[in-house]
Amino acid sequence: MFQRMNACLIAAAMLVCLASGVAAQGAETGDDALMPAVPFGKFTPVPNGHYRPDPSEVYKAVIRLTTKSEADDKPNQSLAKVGRLVNLFVSEGVPLDHLKFVVDVHGPATPIVLNDEQYAKRFGTKNPNLPLIKALGEAGVPVHVCGQALAGHEFEQDWVDPNVSVDLSAYMTVILSQGYAHLSL
């Protein structure tokens, strides 16, 4: 029981650091050592930082992503923070298969899951979030979208990029994810 609580506390502590805005650059910043698993979400090493993950543990989190993008032609900053979270764990020796993270998109963030055609109709540019969504999926971090949020935005399900799963409801996803830490961005 204590190990599970400790794992959840570590994940929550790391997410608080992420939310504080430390080094939120994407792939264009270069240094592969600071983006070992996902080419977005560069982080700053903190050699003497506390609350470091145990590489032998499995970490589970549903990450509720509701923040609207700051710019339509750049990846959503909260989605990039998920990439940073993955990179932080991997940099500490945690294998990707020990990260059971699920990104759950809803609310004002919902448009980030649209395919390029539908995104361009609304924002005049290809969807800059799709490379990050694909990279997260390749790292074992699936991205889901709330079906109710799609309906609320008047988006059709077939407008969603194929790398994103449509769930009945974001709230249902959170409730049914027993044993997972619940984090919001």
**Average of pLDDT values for 101-115?**
98
pLDDT recorded at residue 14: 47
Average pLDDT, the chain: 86
158: pLDDT strictly greater than 70? yes
pLDDT recorded at residue 42: 83
Q: Report CA 99 to chain centroid distance, whole Å.
A: 12
Domain containing residue 60: 2-48+56-184
What total of structural domains would you count in the chain? Answer: 1
pTM: 0.82
CATH number of the domain that 7 lies in? 3.40.1260.10
Q: Tell me the one-letter amino acid at 46.
A: V
10: pLDDT strictly greater than 80? no
pLDDT recorded at residue 64: 97
